[in-house]
Amino acid sequence: MTRIKILSFSSILLLILTSCNSSQIKKKTEKEEIETKFLSIEEVIKQKNSNWAFSNCGVSSSILHFNLKTFNKLTIEFSSDCKAIFPMSSYNNVIDVYWQPQIISSKHYEIVKMIEKYKKHPSNTAFMRFRLRNDSTISVKYYNRDFQNRLNSVDKQRILFPDNFHYLDSNRCKSLNMNLELDTLKK
């Protein structure tokens, strides 16, 4: 009788250990699916609704949307009701974004006023270049740092044109609490 109890106990213990291992493997697989790894800037563009953001101590800046509606346009979202769309081109693992902004905004925010003021700023010239720094970070080179600083000067709490953007999967969006508020930009 004791042998049967020991065998039964061993079988139950083995079954429990196997179940735990199985659930850990399942969780790991789900986590791996969430983490998107980019090997090239072309992959960033090709992924449907590729979204990138910069967050500084929980205060979000702008969000980049690649491949939102068209393949050769970049949408920069400053808030849910304020966006700028720029033409872009990609080659040799870089993306050049050209200064030919199209504004879509329901309110006349300070960033909108600033972009409209400089709408004729060397039009059709590249004003920023993106490179993939690692599998989830894009670094930005601004061809005119003074112009970048002017654009960023409209908000003292947020950096609207940062030097780096990070990939946003749905979990990261929630953890960063990506509520883009532009009340400080209103005039």
pLDDT tens for 95-154 read: 999 999 999 999 999 999 999 988 877 767 899 999 999 988 999 999 999 999 999 999
Overall average pLDDT of the 66-92 stretch = 88
Nearest to 94 by CA among 57, 40, 61, 131: 131
Task: Read off the tokens for 56.
Answer: 């500084």
pTM over 0.75: no
pLDDT per residue as tens digits for the range 11-60: 443 334 344 444 333 443 444 444 558 888 888 888 877 788 876 555 56
Residue 2, pLDDT score = 54
Residue 170 pLDDT exceeds 70: no
The pLDDT confidence band at residue 160, using thresholds 50, 70 and 90, is very high
Residue 50, pLDDT score = 79
What are the backbone dihedrals phi and psi of residue 176, each rounded to the nearest 5 degrees, phi first? -85, -10
Task: Read off the tokens for 113.
Answer: 């006023």
b/e string for 12-39 if b means 16 or more Cβ within 10 A? eeeeeeeeeeeeeeeeeeeeeeeeeebe
The pLDDT confidence band at residue 163, using thresholds 50, 70 and 90, is very high
